[in-house]
């Protein structure tokens, strides 16, 4: 169980929204993180450079925060097999479904895209079911 | 139409990635336990992440509708590339279900996976490698399905 943190959630969310909409305003691109990252696997073209820059920004962000000593919680104890399966599902699912929490959940929802609203409802509902089932299984064991 | 790729578009992309990464850290999206707590609607529900989405939409939506939507070119003279599809197809739904299963199992989605790389945790590195394997496998799997 984790603590309810509405203020940092709102503030962090506003930064996520700001980064996303600035990418659209400045570069004319949707800030879908799965799409941007997955297209780095393609042969480099004119769009490869900004995608790499964006991903690097995401990766180095915690280093910028170090002076203010914000802790990044270590990953909860999970088996290696489960991590690999989850990673594969996240990669395949976001690729097949053309987006993740950022592309569909924020950029698409904000634009009132029907596809994104449906995708977000579907992945949220699915994830809620998975968590409900797995916490029940843990309860029995 | 070929566009001039300039340093400015790289720098702005870097800054946007950085802003989003900072937001992911501050908001708690990088904490898998917090994500699971949000998804645990029928258990010890932590509604924090609904506020993350609200905060993000509260910034993105007005700027999009009032400023960005009417533009023909971006501020750095790039073509606006905004999806126009409105159809709901099987790929969208199946993809969202697969992603939802993975997200529910680990509590990590693509953005936090990348931002967590700096922790050097082996589990995170493994997750990111598996995620990129998934990116790579998905089109191959789909084209196999198409052939049959």
pLDDT in tens, B122-134: 899 999 999 999 9
Query: Could you give the CA distance from residue A102 to residue A138 in angstroms, rounded to a whole number?
Result: 30
* Arithmetic mean of pLDDT, A104-112: 97
| Residue A74 clears pLDDT 90, i.e. is over it | no
Contact A122 B20 (CB under 8 A): no
How is chain A split into domains, by residue range? 6-140
SS3 B73: strand
Any idea what DSSP says for residue A69? T
- H-only helix segments in chain A: 6-22, 33-38, 48-65, 80-96, 109-110, 114-140
Percent above pLDDT 90 for chain B: 84
What is the predicted pLDDT for the residue at A135?
Answer: 85
As a residue count, chain A comes to: 141
Contact A25 B109 (CB under 8 A): no
Any idea what DSSP says for residue B46? -
What is the predicted pLDDT for the residue at A69?
Answer: 47
Confidence of residue A75 (pLDDT cuts 50, 70, 90): low
Nearest chain A residue to B124, by CA: A75
Contacts of A128 in chain B (CB under 8 A): 39-42, 104
* Arithmetic mean of pLDDT, A71-76: 58
What is the predicted pLDDT for the residue at B1?
Answer: 45
- H-only helix segments in B90-121: 90-106, 110-115
Is the minimum CB–CB distance between B140 and chain A shorter than 8 Å? no
As a residue count, chain B comes to: 148
ipTM score: 0.94
Is the minimum CB–CB distance between B125 and chain A shorter than 8 Å? no
* Arithmetic mean of pLDDT, A99-108: 97
Confidence of residue A38 (pLDDT cuts 50, 70, 90): very high
CA-nearest of A18, A100, A119 to B56 is: A18
Contact A34 B116 (CB under 8 A): no
In tens, the pLDDT along B49-102 reads 999 999 999 999 999 999 999 899 999 999 999 999 999 999 999 999 999 999
What is the predicted pLDDT for the residue at B148?
Answer: 74
Burial of B25 (0-12, 13-18, 19+ CB in 10 A): buried
Is the minimum CB–CB distance between B7 and chain A shorter than 8 Å? no
């Amino acid at each position: 169980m984790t603590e309810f943190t509405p203020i940092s959630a709102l503030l962090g969310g506003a930064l996520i929204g700001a980064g996303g909409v600035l990418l659209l305003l400045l570069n004319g691109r949707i800030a879908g993180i799965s799409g941007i990252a997955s297209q780095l696997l393609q042969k480099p073209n004119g769009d490869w450079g900004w995608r790499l820059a964006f991903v690097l920004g995401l990766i180095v962000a915690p280093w910028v925060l170090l002076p203010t000593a914000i802790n990044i919680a270590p990953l909860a104890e999970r088996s290696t097999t489960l991590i690999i399966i989850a990673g594969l599902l996240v990669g395949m699912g976001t690729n097949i479904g053309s987006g993740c929490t950022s592309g569909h959940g924020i950029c698409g929802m904000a634009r009132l895209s029907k596809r994104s609203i449906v995708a977000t409802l579907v992945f949220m509902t699915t994830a809620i079911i998975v968590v409900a089932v797995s916490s029940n299984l843990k309860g029995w064991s | 139409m070929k566009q001039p790729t300039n340093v400015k578009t790289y720098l702005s992309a870097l800054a946007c990635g950085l802003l989003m990464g900072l937001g992911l850290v501050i908001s708690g999206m990088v904490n898998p336990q917090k994500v699971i707590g949000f998804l645990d609607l029928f258990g010890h529900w932590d509604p924090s992440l609904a506020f993350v989405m609200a905060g993000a939409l509260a910034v993105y939506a007005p700027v999009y509708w009032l400023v960005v939507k009417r533009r023909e070119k971006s501020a750095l003279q790039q073509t606006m590339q905004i999806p126009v599809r409105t159809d709901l197809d099987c790929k969208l739904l199946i993809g969202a279900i697969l992603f939802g299963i993975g997200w529910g199992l680990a509590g990590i989605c693509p953005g936090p996976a990348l931002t967590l790389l700096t922790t050097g945790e082996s589990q995170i590195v493994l997750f990111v490698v598996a995620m990129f394997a998934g990116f790579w496998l998905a089109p191959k799997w789909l084209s196999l399905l198409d052939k049959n």
